[in-house]
């Protein structure tokens, strides 16, 4: 039962270990990719800013819970 719940985590870890561990550590440290110094470091490393539009576009500039209506 417990192994079934953790199998997707282990599958991602085995598929992309560096990306998984980087995301895991940034989650533990509660780092925000859109704030400095992480933002400037990522800009230097990748040379692109594709991550910033994804993080800011997902929230639509609003903070907190949002309501949705289902027809």
The predicted structure's pLDDT at residue 54: 46
To 10 degrees, what angle do helices 2-15 and 17-28 make?
120
Choose among 46, 48, 49: nearest CA to 57: 49
Global confidence as pTM: 0.40
The CA distance from 32 to 67, in Å, is 24
- Nearest alpha-carbon partner for 33 in 12, 56, 16: 56
pLDDT per residue of the chain (71 residues) written in tens, 0 to 9? 678 888 888 888 888 888 888 888 888 988 887 878 777 877 777 765 545 444 445 555 667 788 888 87
Q: Other C-beta atoms within 10 Å of 34: how many?
A: 14
């Amino acid at each position: 039962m417990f192994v079934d719940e953790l199998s997707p985590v282990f599958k991602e870890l085995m598929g992309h270990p560096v990306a998984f561990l980087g995301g895991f550590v940034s989650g533990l440290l509660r780092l925000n990719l859109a704030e400095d110094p992480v933002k400037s470091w990522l800009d230097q490393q990748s040379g692109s800013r594709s991550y910033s539009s994804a993080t800011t576009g997902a929230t639509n500039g609003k903070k907190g819970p949002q309501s949705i209506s289902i027809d």
